[in-house]
Structure 1
Amino acid sequence: MNTVGTCIIKRDGKREDFSSDKISNAIRKAFLATGMENREKQIESITRNVVKRIAKPTIGVEEIQDMVETELMKDQPEVAKKYIIYRQWRNTERERKTQIKHIMDGIVAIDKNDVNLSNANMSSHTPAGQMMTFASEITKDYTYKYLLPAQYAEAHRNGDIHIHDLDYYPTKTTTCIQYDLDDLFERGFHTKNGSIRTPQSIQSYATLATIIFQTNQNEQHGGQAIPAFDFFMAKGVLKSFQKAVAANLSFFLEMKGTEHDEKKLHAIAGEQLTTVEPDRQSRSALLHTLESAGIRVSMEELEHLLHRSLQQTRKETHQAMEGFIHNLNTMHSRGGNQVVFSSINYGTDTSAEGRMVMEELLKATTEGLGNQGEVPVFPIQIFKVKDGVSYSEADYNLAMQDLDAAIEGKIKFETPNFDLFLKACRTTAKALFPNFMFLDTPFNKNEKWKADDPKRYRYELATMGCRTRVFENINGEKTSLGRGNLSFTTMNLPRLAIEAVRQAESLSTDREDKEKKAKELFLQAVGRMSRFIAEQLYARYQYQRTALARQFPFMMSNDVWKGGGRLNPNDEVGDVLNQGTLGIGFIGGHNAMAALYGQGHGHCRKAWDTLYEAVEEMNKVADEYKQKYRLNYSVLATPAEGLSGRFTRMDKRKYGIIEGVNDRDYYVNSFHVDVKEPISIIEKIKCEAPFHALTRGGHITYVELDGEAQKNVRAIVKIVKAMHDEQIGYGSINHPVDTCHNCGYKGVIYSKCPVCNSDNILRMRRITGYLTGDLNSWNSAKRAEESDRVKHS
């Protein structure tokens, strides 16, 4: 049946001789896909009909396939459907191969594109970074093809949803974890190459904390946090003090020529000294114990030894905190020079040891890195604001009368850690960290928290610096320790609004009626999409459950993820994961409201009400699915780094450019007021605060300042107070921090250094929750967003 002399033009433009066998093979596959076997006569007849229609000397592949479809529809409609589906699939596959080739070429050429700049914490142009990016793109493709249920893969590809960390999907790993460091330190832990015993000094405590961060980073795709850094490090401070006292006492006795047993001195110091600031009664008891052991020192000599030991311990603690910060900013844990995505929470340990940790940590953060004192990118630091512990209204009013004196320690406050709160604000004014977590905001409270509980940190909320929140727990203790996020998926909120408006316009011509219908349709769509995401998260959870414990040797065998320690290496992790969280995320609240009402929710009450109702709808679905699957569903105010640009690009292609909605390079994050909105600090805080109670999977409110904040610590303190009073859950203050690489000048630098005229400037900015010192490492959407941010004076 070959048509003599006919030439086929293939898709790549190449030519080859026509062969009817290829038509027969394609038709045969369609019959077999429909379950029809042994239909050779029909196949031969359809092929002959196609061949008869070819009347040109040259013909394209697509034309022949159109003819096959037509002939199949005449003879076998069901088979025709299978053929059409197969043809579409093949076209999709061809497009994807072309797209993958284009992406790979961009990685090889280290193009400055959004694939290579998807993670500002990674250098994608280094060999290891290139390998990571290659692997990421190929693994996403594998996930689409073989792992994701078709409806979720299609929704992600189409831009209805974004399934985060698709490249890690096949590994079955979870997103993030909050460490119970006290448990790890007391039991000791093991890594691939050996076991680690309980540390005996603050230097060891801080070093092992970085090792834990680094080791576990390779078993999860997100970040890690220490929920109570002050409490966990305090024991190390005390141990260092006890060792210093024993060593100084031993040296003193040596100088006097007095015989002594050094081990015995260590034992006495360990038994008698329970704080680095022993009171007179404790000092007398220590003196008596030494005398009973035949060691004669006077009270004056002992007090001098204790004072000297305290000074040494403070110096050692400072060095430990300095080393901790330097390690976390230089220690690579993944390809592409990625440092550990680390966060630490602190602020409520009132012991002398815990306070020393915080004081020296804040000092080391202010001093910065290197010779020029560069602002540390990691760890993200979060100061816990707790009434009666680190904050009170009376202390605030007292401090504001003379803030300089208050920060210098010249004023006595009623709350034990209020002085540290002020120092935290001063550090934020220079180094952008710490951020602030408000423990007395109603949804952040835990009814089990007691001021006299030495382990009260178990019932204090802690957060990942980027905003991920893990606290409520339908399957166990309400705590942040030993738990993390399993996965999260984000809905394209502006698209739901655009679709609702278009549908409403087809149903009504009256403006008010259209607006009302659009709102109803939008809220219904939010509910449907939330349920769709909830089911997708459940499907991923079911897949994650099948991971073997040995896939996460550090996290599971060391009981880092609580419950993992009881598993054998070949056990599936199963129910151990059910205390993790599943996040229903959203992006573009402002843009969605602009689609519905022509303006965002910053100054439009009906837009604010509608967005609030939309997030409430998400919460209803989260509560519904909590009960349906007995899992910790929650709503997440998504920290979108690359996603804000991805959704926008897709919606421009789908709908064209809609002014005020998708006419920029990015969608505004979650419920945030538009970054370009001229709004006061207080108005912004009041506008966003109510959304925090609804987004218990994680949230943050930013305030963007102009000018040098370090010259106006008073403003920082006032802003944090406003966040506290308006019941913000978690807040942060952004301001420009610029450093001239040539001369070291620090300040707000506009184009060139005002001292040496250099344009070699380090510009430290916050991208989502973390900092980066080079805007060139940001993707195009986030660079555009940073440029648009309105600065508050």
Structure 2
Amino acid sequence: MNTKEICIIKRDGKREDFSAVKISNAIGKAFEATGLNDHRTLIEEITQRVILQINQPTIGVEDIQDIVETELMKVQPEVAKKYIIYRQWRNTERERKTQIKHIMDGIVAIDKNDVNLSNANMSSHTPAGQMMTFASEITKDYTYKYLLPKKYAEAHQLGDIHIHDLDYYPTKTTTCIQYDLDDLFERGFHTKNGSIRTPQSIQSYATLATIIFQTNQNEQHGGQAIPAFDFFMAKGVLKSYQKAVTSILSFYLEVKGETTVKEESLSEAIHQYLISIEPNSEMKKGLVKALQASAITINAEELEHILHKAYAQTRKETHQAMEGFIHNLNTMHSRGGNQVVFSSINYGTDTSAEGRMVIEELLKATVEGLGQRGEVPVFPIQIFKIKDGVSYSEADYQLAIQDFDAALEGKIQFEAPNFDLFLKACRTTAKALFPNFMFLDTPFNQHEKWDKNDPKRYRYELATMGCRTRVFENLNGEKTSLGRGNLSFTTMNLPRLAIEARIKAENMAEHTHPTAIEQLAKDIFLQSVHEMSELIAEQLYSRYQYQRTALARQFPFMMSNNVWKGGGSLNPNDEVGDTLKQGTLGIGFIGGHNAMVALYGQGHGHNRKAWETLYEAIEEMNKVADEYKQKYHLNYSVLATPAEGLSGRFTRMDKRKYGLIPGVTDRDYYVNSFHVDVKEPISIIEKIKCEAPFHALTRGGHITYVELDGEAQKNIKAIAKIVKVMHDEGIGYGSINHPVDTCHNCGYKGVIYDKCPICNSENIMRMRRITGYLTGDLNSWNSAKRAEEKDRVKHG
């Protein structure tokens, strides 16, 4: 065959003309490496024999090299060996230039890059952190090549969508879970090394809660939450109180000389009559009579003194338990890379004396913070549940505002039994950024079965993962947050859809009025949102089908202990199958603001057309979610994606593809979900009103936050006013950000600019919220989130 007719296909798929010179040069280098020189004639003969072997118009580089090896082996085996070694070395050199090699190099060198900083809760420079990052990147590559259907792999790699937690894809695990701790505590549970009995004190309740967090963390890739922390811990408080009364009474009787009284009989009577840490007169009378019937002489005054001592001891123990709970969750590294548990707790609606004590002492321990200098605890993410008539009322709010200092000091009697705890929660938020606030009376958060007289009403109260994931509605079981979680979620690149829509509209109508182009672009955009939502819905179903094939023994704690409801009925070698049907599948999105700028030149914060278009786009996502609920009978929902690593990935890709578009691709990040641009000047009330309607459309999870300037702890009333606005405007879940800075050298706390005002140190810890949780060092954030944090304006 004429060599001019031969086309070479290179390794990257590109084509080039055949060159005999390149073949003879490669053979010549192999001769030289063997120490054989002046063999030009033989080299040319071998080259010609290689050419004669080529009998097709196109041939790959690797195929030519195979022929060269064969021909060399016929005449010069030693040279052939050198050629093979050279070829292998060249392949290694090429591999060194690939993306995965560069990533590995960055991990080894602990570079400060976005791979190493993809998770602000992980120390990627530690040995275990490096191993986690190595494994993550290699597993993603494996998933792309061998597990993902081609169209979904391409959509992800091209940046149309982002399939979250691809490194965990092969494990078939789910994202998150919300614990039914009451069930776990009453039944007891087991870990790999043994069984745990029902706890008998508040210290044990709190400690076992952290153990459950830590154990299950390794069976999922997301966060863990306790939906009703106050209700679940309340039993522990009562048990500690009853033990304290028994112990003190026993000691008192011994001092009096009544040595024949057995502590077991005392305990039995106390458990029967003291069913509250604030017993009423009937309980006390009943206990006195029961004791007297057992020939134990004690009068009401003596008992009152004993109960007072027991109450004080119980409060102290409860405080220590809450303090230990917080300290443990900030120090127990349950995953590689010094990761502590992504933990969240919801509370605020238990009106029992025991539940209230839990909340009070938890808030105190949060304010006290960690260590000698009272560092703000990053975990658990705390969520205070606002419920009308329970933890909030309009009348109580108006009463408190009239004399806020007196209200904070407990000098005012309120009608809602936990309104005083709401005020204390506001004070804690002003100091420690937590708790956030969940609004149970927002229409889409209500539950028709909720009854204030139901002792287990928490089953019908919405709870959330602190980052924002919401699990509530259920096609396949009880509508509740308990024992359920998210299966997986995937995010669409909303700005790209808007950019493409605008380009298409302008090409289709070159000389049309701008308004007509806008309308056409909007129509194309909404259609593309619908189609992309369908693609994501199918991809989520594909992943769900894969997750179903996991064996129960892959999740020994979560399934065998019935942490994920239904898992307890499975044998270890059973597939999890339909057990997962109660989980949720999230169709996520990012960059609502940027998308609107691409369409209208302005974001939705102050442009009504942009706001309405974004609203309609999320409605389209919900139409698809509803369609797929019916199609597969699964819990599809729309999620306002909590983007950490993703916030910069889409932007980098779109910047390369479309260039710099002002307000769209000209920063290092896309603005999260439906949030108003972090740089946009907007008042607190305007921001809340703008974002609140989107909460009803994003039932897979959402959050609205506002940024305060100055030291919030000096203006707790402002926190309460903001929460009221959120409550009145229909926010589902909200938080309040403000600067919390601490000098590492002297411990000074306050708003610190460049240097500490006390000791002039520049060694400052700057506590900030990233996607729903806190971090104590901005250096652990990736470049996109650091840029976003820098751009955040304060909301006046």
TM-score w.r.t. length of structure 2:
0.90
Determine the structure 1 residue equivalent to 2:23.
Answer: 8
Q: Which amino acid aligns with 1:358?
A: I
Instruction: State the 1:50 CA deviation.
Output: 6.7
Residues of 2 paired with 1:567 and 1:156: CA distance?
34
Alignment partner of 1:167 is 2:161: no
Q: Which amino acid aligns with 2:502?
A: V
Q: How does 1:337-376 map to 2 (within 5 A)?
A: 337-376=338-377
Q: Give the conservation status (yes or no) of the 8 Å contact 1:244–1:312.
A: yes
Q: 1:71-120: CA deviations, max 9, x gaps?
A: xxxxxxxxxxxxxxxxxxxx9x9789711110000000000000000000
Q: How does 1:500-579 map to 2 (within 5 A)?
A: 500-508=501-509, 509-510=511-512, 511-579=514-582
Instruction: State the 1:270 CA deviation.
Output: 1.1
The alignment partner of 1:190 has SS state of: strand
Q: Which amino acid aligns with 2:503?
A: R
Q: 1:714 aligns with which of 712, 717, 724?
A: 717
Instruction: State the 1:321 CA deviation.
Output: 0.1
Q: Which amino acid aligns with 1:774?
A: D
Determine the structure 1 residue equivalent to 2:232.
Answer: 232
Instruction: State the 1:20 CA deviation.
Output: 8.0
Alignment partner of 1:46 is 2:50: no
Residues of 1 paired with 2:772 and 2:788: CA distance?
14
Determine the structure 1 residue equivalent to 2:38.
Answer: none
Residues of 2 paired with 1:7 and 1:459: CA distance?
74
Instruction: State the 1:155 CA deviation.
Output: 0.4
TM-aligned CA distance change 1:14 to 1:401, over 3 Å: farther
Determine the structure 1 residue equivalent to 2:666.
Answer: 663
Instruction: State the 1:6 CA deviation.
Output: 3.4
Residues of 2 paired with 1:5 and 1:313: CA distance?
89
Residues of 1 paired with 2:113 and 2:568: CA distance?
43
Instruction: State the 1:298 CA deviation.
Output: 1.2
Q: 1:672-717: CA deviations, max 9, x gaps?
A: 0000000000000000000000000000001000100000001000
Residues of 2 paired with 1:563 and 1:734: CA distance?
39
TM-aligned CA distance change 1:306 to 1:757, over 3 Å: same
The alignment partner of 1:46 has SS state of: coil
Q: Which amino acid aligns with 1:106?
A: G
Alignment partner of 1:628 is 2:631: yes
Determine the structure 2 residue equivalent to 1:768.
Answer: 771
Determine the structure 1 residue equivalent to 2:216.
Answer: 216
Q: Which amino acid aligns with 1:604?
A: N
Gap regions ≥5 residues in structure 1: 25-42, 52-59, 66-90
Q: Which amino acid aligns with 1:452?
A: N
Q: 2:703 aligns with which of 683, 700, 703?
A: 700
Q: Give the conservation status (yes or no) of the 8 Å contact 1:7–1:15.
A: no
Determine the structure 2 residue equivalent to 1:642.
Answer: 645
Q: Which amino acid aligns with 2:405?
A: D
Alignment partner of 1:682 is 2:697: no
Q: Give the conservation status (yes or no) of the 8 Å contact 1:163–1:489.
A: yes
Residues of 2 paired with 1:770 and 1:239: CA distance?
33
Instruction: State the 1:388 CA deviation.
Output: 0.3
Q: Give the conservation status (yes or no) of the 8 Å contact 1:10–1:61.
A: no
Alignment partner of 1:119 is 2:135: no
The alignment partner of 2:98 has SS state of: helix
TM-aligned CA distance change 1:727 to 1:22, over 3 Å: farther
Q: Give the conservation status (yes or no) of the 8 Å contact 2:210–2:325.
A: yes
Residues of 2 paired with 1:164 and 1:756: CA distance?
44
Residues of 2 paired with 1:653 and 1:21: CA distance?
45
Q: 1:235-258: CA deviations, max 9, x gaps?
A: 000000000000000010111111
Determine the structure 1 residue equivalent to 2:733.
Answer: 730
Q: How does 1:125-274 map to 2 (within 5 A)?
A: 125-259=125-259, 260-274=261-275
Residues of 2 paired with 1:627 and 1:792: CA distance?
42
Q: Which amino acid aligns with 1:734?
A: N
The runs of at least 4 consecutive aligned structure 1 residues that moved more than 6 Å come to 1-5, 13-24, 62-65, 93-97
Q: Which amino acid aligns with 1:6?
A: V
The alignment partner of 2:349 has SS state of: coil
Residues of 2 paired with 1:157 and 1:574: CA distance?
29
Q: Give the conservation status (yes or no) of the 8 Å contact 1:2–1:20.
A: no
The alignment partner of 1:8 has SS state of: helix
Residues of 2 paired with 1:505 and 1:722: CA distance?
42
Residues of 2 paired with 1:293 and 1:397: CA distance?
53
Q: Which amino acid aligns with 2:205?
A: Y
Q: 1:57-84: CA deviations, max 9, x gaps?
A: xxx959999xxxxxxxxxxxxxxxxxxx
Q: Give the conservation status (yes or no) of the 8 Å contact 1:8–1:15.
A: no
TM-aligned CA distance change 1:149 to 1:20, over 3 Å: farther
Residues of 1 paired with 2:298 and 2:330: CA distance?
46
Q: 1:137-196: CA deviations, max 9, x gaps?
A: 000000000000000000000000000000000000000000000000000000000000
The alignment partner of 1:377 has SS state of: coil
Q: Which amino acid aligns with 2:440?
A: L
Instruction: State the 1:8 CA deviation.
Output: 3.2
Determine the structure 1 residue equivalent to 2:441.
Answer: 440
Residues of 2 paired with 1:2 and 1:320: CA distance?
85
Residues of 2 paired with 1:8 and 1:646: CA distance?
41
Determine the structure 1 residue equivalent to 2:594.
Answer: 591
Q: 1:462-505: CA deviations, max 9, x gaps?
A: 00000000000001100000000000000000000000000001
Determine the structure 2 residue equivalent to 1:104.
Answer: 104
Q: Which amino acid aligns with 1:455?
A: K
CA RMSD of aligned residues (A): 2.3
TM-score w.r.t. length of structure 1:
0.91
Alignment partner of 1:454 is 2:455: yes
Alignment partner of 1:304 is 2:290: no
The alignment partner of 1:162 has SS state of: strand
Instruction: State the 1:7 CA deviation.
Output: 2.9
Q: 1:404-428: CA deviations, max 9, x gaps?
A: 1101110000000000000000000
Q: How does 1:267-416 map to 2 (within 5 A)?
A: 267-416=268-417
Residues of 2 paired with 1:336 and 1:20: CA distance?
54
Q: Give the conservation status (yes or no) of the 8 Å contact 2:95–2:101.
A: no
* Percent identity over paired residues: 81
TM-aligned CA distance change 1:10 to 1:353, over 3 Å: farther
Gap regions ≥5 residues in structure 2: 4-18, 32-42, 66-90
Residues of 2 paired with 1:353 and 1:507: CA distance?
68
Determine the structure 2 residue equivalent to 1:473.
Answer: 474
Determine the structure 1 residue equivalent to 2:9.
Answer: none
The alignment partner of 1:195 has SS state of: strand
The alignment partner of 1:7 has SS state of: helix
The alignment partner of 2:688 has SS state of: helix
Residues of 2 paired with 1:143 and 1:96: CA distance?
21
TM-aligned CA distance change 1:5 to 1:583, over 3 Å: closer
Instruction: State the 1:792 CA deviation.
Output: 2.2
Residues of 1 paired with 2:397 and 2:593: CA distance?
34
Q: Give the conservation status (yes or no) of the 8 Å contact 2:190–2:557.
A: yes
Q: Which amino acid aligns with 1:319?
A: Q
TM-aligned CA distance change 1:425 to 1:392, over 3 Å: same
Residues of 2 paired with 1:50 and 1:759: CA distance?
64
Q: Which amino acid aligns with 1:200?
A: Q
TM-aligned CA distance change 1:20 to 1:456, over 3 Å: farther
Q: Which amino acid aligns with 1:502?
A: I
Determine the structure 1 residue equivalent to 2:81.
Answer: none
Q: Give the conservation status (yes or no) of the 8 Å contact 1:8–1:61.
A: no
Q: Which amino acid aligns with 2:507?
A: S
Q: 1:309-346: CA deviations, max 9, x gaps?
A: 00000000000000000000000000000000000000
